[in-house]
Structure 1
Amino acid sequence: MTIPVPPLRAQVRVDLPPLASCTLPNGLRVCVAHTPWSPTVELALALPTRAVAARVATVAVIGDVVVRRTDCRDGAGLAALLGRYGAAVRGAGDGTWCDLHASLAADDLPLVLGLVAEMVRSAPPDADAVGASVRRVRAAVSPLRAQPQIAVRQLLRQRLYGPDAPALVPSDEAYRAVTATEVAELWPVVVQPGLGCLVVAGPQDPDLVLAEVRRHFADWRAHPSPPVVGHQPTGARGVQVVVTPTSAQASLVLAAPAVSHDDPRHPALLLANCLFGGYFSARLSRVLREREGLVYRVDALLDEHVGDQWITLSADAPGAAVPLVLASLRGQLAGLASRPPRAAEVDAAREFMVGRSLIQLGTQAGIVAELRSALIRGHTPDRLSIMPAALREVSTAEVRAVAADLFDPDRFCGVVAGALDPRDNRGHPVGPPAPNAW
């Protein structure tokens, strides 16, 4: 007996918590969300780094060391003070953003805001602090670099933008080459408020929090940033094959240019991507994983490389199955035009996307993450509340048009890396995919 699932109640607008926002004279954009149901505060500070993306290893070290000491406190003293109040401050940097995150009790917000302001207004660290940070970052990224999905995405980025593209995860040699002199050179470029954003969510009155932010950050000095060096896509086509015999499986990733977040077709693209490979009932999951049993994992997402948006398909599979997986992926992409999405598919994807937005906005961390995402893209905070309504307004015809246009298989290029077994599960020779064959 099949029990019908009742339809979800129509949700045309997400009610955000009360917000207060401003832009300080130094260029720092600030947004405060009032979350009275929580006794804690979540804080995120995002500083752009694309202007120095070519030196991502140095940026990563800066992201780590900036939260470890200040001009007034050494590392041990700062850690002891934060520990006394049960506050955690974390930092990380890559080729796009240097991020600082803090979690703390609401009563301690003035203290922690002051400490974060101390961190970012301090002078560059000395050689000992930089050396310790280099060792920490190297240890943290070593297992990350070894993950097949990271390795194949790194290869994809080089295929999309050429060998000089900023590294997704720098090599160990790049980290070991970072010096205190390099950190000092980039410090005023990275650790400065211009074009950055600060998001706070907590139970305090937002206007009072804004006043506290102004008190601590208003005289944080901005410095001129070098122009962002653009990286033009190579226009590569086909699939590059990289055989790594020591791998236990094969990983593959394909990408095609997407539209920007400001493009009017973006809501339709979100739905097309979701129904194609963005959730558990998507076409790729039902066909490649459940019906054909070719992959361990398959999904589609909208990814970013050096500031550009890309439709990205990725999968993990046995090496012997790679030729069949590539053929099936191409068939499914072509099927978006020959077998266009049905209204029921679009509606299911729509409900999933709206529901995910509601879940994300149900926690302080989710609210901060979504507000940060809106601000760093130049949007106003209310974008979070209007996006579900925008998804509701997308028609099936619009999704079909975007799917046929942007998911054309001839627009995709990619990389396959791993153990490519020349025989299938029955011992029959299948041969590896030919280089650049797609």
Structure 2
Amino acid sequence: MIPLLLLAPLLRRQKPSTAVCQLPKEHQVKLPNGLSLHHLPYRNLPLVEVELVIPGGSRLDPTGKEGLANLVAKVLTKGTKGRNATEISETIDFLGANLDVEAGHDYIAVSAEFLVQDLDEMLSLLAEIVMLPAFPPEEVGRACRQVEAQIEQIRDEPERLIQRHFSRLLFGEHPYGRPVLGWERSLCTITREDLAAFHRATFRPDEAILAIVGDLDAVTAQEKVTEIFSAWRGEGAVSPPPVFPPPERVSGRKIHLIDKPDATQTQILIGNLGVSRSDPDYFPLLVANTLFGGAFTSRLNRTIRVERSLSYGAWSSFQFRKERGAFLVGTYTKTETTREALEVVLEELARLHREGVTDAEVRRAKSYLAGQFSLKIEPPEARAYQLAMIHFFGLPEDYMETYPAHIEAVSIADVERVIHRHFPLDDLLIVLLGKADEIEPGVRDLGEVNRRDLLDH
């Protein structure tokens, strides 16, 4: 893969394309059991890419059982009612295939890649692990220990550690405030029966999305999926989607100082609530964020890294999820320059509001986004993922084809409008992770400071 840093100069010189991206026509059908099938041909390689999306994810973890969805994902391939973990692994290795299961906040995704000649065998294996997982107790216990080790490792990864704290402080008791991995205290309460119950409740064909991209036609894809997945049935009626009390937007500047006495640097995260993926400001926000902190050549990175030499990197992003995610600005710096780095971030936000943006900045951001998207949808596995996400989020069916035109249509006025609407200036959650005793005196006058210990992991 070509590093994005090397691509940036090329992308800056590209003229934004207003043309519609030419992709093969999508075939979609709702199967008799309710499974939503979406197919795109990809004839460049003799491969098939499959993305099966199960709505739910960790947002459905019961209180006190945080980490349950992630354990379901980890153990799903570790045994079925017909094969044990070794047999499943050996089948995948023998075919030279890949099969992964991952849990997120909003869904569990099962991804597979294999040769087209192995279509029947791999689809059958996929159906087996989805429909008939055994959740062997010994595999559940092993997975719990692995996740506990992952959580313990986060203590030594400050950039991930501060993310857990920031999410908890911003979202509170909302599911987005709970880590997908769970807490150490919650993992020990999860049983094999919990995994089986979660699977029964959420793994339903009438709510699932199956995207197939590869060297096969639509008729073959539909026939094979219908045949192999026909026995998949959901238990009982579809449950209504859960409704969670919305998290409250941070008002004023709230500084939370997380004490990590052995830290060699200060991690900084600043932000507030953002928007959901369905927000109509999505495309203007992409452009605005790219020029502010979403690319190597952004204002934020240029000022903090190049001009002030306070850090090797600074960034901003929006979490586009089913519900409102976060707007985030992040960087890291030496303990003694914490105050200076924080002031630079706050000043860059203020300058964004005060001075607006230039035509050149907007054009560069749009060129960058258009180039990135072209790279993003070229590999077949990326197309399968994008196809599944389009239907998971309820986006227009021509989303991939019309993306360049939507980006090009963003105006300076659009960018400045969303800056004033979605880039907080005075209402900010500021989380600092580092040597609290050395950091606190320098930031007391910037806002209300709350000192905290590390979260219970």
> Normalization by structure 1: what TM-score?
0.90
Q: Superposed, which structure 2 residues align to 1:330-369 within 5 Å?
A: 330-369=346-385
| Partners of 2:13 and 2:173 in 1: CA distance | 52
Instruction: Output the CA distance in 2 between the equivalents of 1:381 and 1:135.
Output: 42
Secondary structure of the residue that 2:61 maps to in structure 1? Answer: helix
1:47 match: 54
| Equivalent AA in structure 1 for residue 242 of structure 2 | V
Query: In percent, how many aligned pairs have the same letter?
Result: 22
Aligned equivalent of 2:36, options 8, 13, 29: 29
Structure 1 regions of 5+ residues with no counterpart? 424-428
- Aligned-pair distance for 1:330? 1.2
- Contact conserved, 2:16 with 2:404, CA < 8 A, in 1? no
Distance apart, 1:196 and its partner CA: 2.0
Aligned to 2:454: none
Please, what TM-score do these two structures have when normalized by structure 2? 0.87
Query: Contact between 2:79 and 2:133, CA under 8 Å: does it hold in 1?
Result: no
* Aligned counterparts, 1:109-120, within 5 A: 109-120=119-130
Question: CA–CA distance in 1 between the matches of 2:275 and 2:168?
Answer: 21
Q: How many residues align?
A: 430
Deviations, residues 214-257 of structure 1 (Å, cap 9, x unaligned):
11223311243364141421333422111211122111112233
- 1:248 counterpart residue number: 264
**1:24-173 alignment runs, 5 A limit:** 24-50=31-57, 52-54=60-62, 55-144=65-154, 146-162=156-172, 165-173=177-185
Q: Which residue of 1 aligns with 2:335?
A: 319
Superposed displacement of residue 406, structure 1: 1.7
CA shift in 2, pair 1:356/1:6, >3 Å: closer
The structural deviation recorded for 1:340 is 0.8
Task: Answer yes or no: is the 8 Å Cα contact 1:27–1:222 preserved in 2.
Answer: no
Match of 2:442 in 1: 431
Report Cα offsets for 1:399-424 as digits up to 9, x if no partner.
1121122213123323111235738x
1:263 aligns with 2:290: no
Match of 1:200 among 212, 216, 223: 212
Of 244, 252, 258, 1:230 maps to 244
2:3 paired residue number? none
3-state secondary structure, aligned to 2:159: helix
CA distance in 2, matches of 1:116, 1:198: 11
RMSD: 2.5
Matches within 5 A, 1:276-295: 276-295=292-311
Aligned equivalents of 2:329 and 2:204: distance in 1? 36
- The 3 A distance-change label for structure 1 pair 344 and 140 is same
Match of 1:13 among 9, 20, 31: 20
Q: Name the SS for the 2:403 alignment partner.
A: helix
- Whole-Å Cα distance in 1 between the matches of residues 125 and 179 of structure 2? 32
Q: Check the 8 A contact 1:298/1:314 in 2, yes or no.
A: yes
Q: Does 1:221 align with 2:254?
A: no
Say whether the 8 Å CA contact 1:56–1:94 is kept in structure 2: no
String of CA shifts for 1:237-285, please: whole Å, max 9, x gaps: 4221112111221111122333333333221111001100000111001
**Counterpart AA for 1:24:** L
Between stretches 79-88 and 111-120, larger displacement belongs to 79-88
Q: Deviations over 1:285-331 (max 9, x none)?
A: 11111101122321011115783232211112112222112211111
Q: Do 2:275 and 2:319's aligned partners in 1 also have CA atoms closer than 8 Å?
A: no
Q: Deviations over 1:47-87 (max 9, x none)?
A: 12255234341211110111222211122222222222112
- Deviating above 6 A after TM superposition, structure 1's stretches of 4 or more consecutive aligned residues are none
Q: Is the 8 A contact 1:323 1:433 kept in 2?
A: no
- 1:212 maps onto 2:224 in alignment: yes
- Flag the 1:404–1:122 CA change in 2: closer, same or farther, 3 A: same
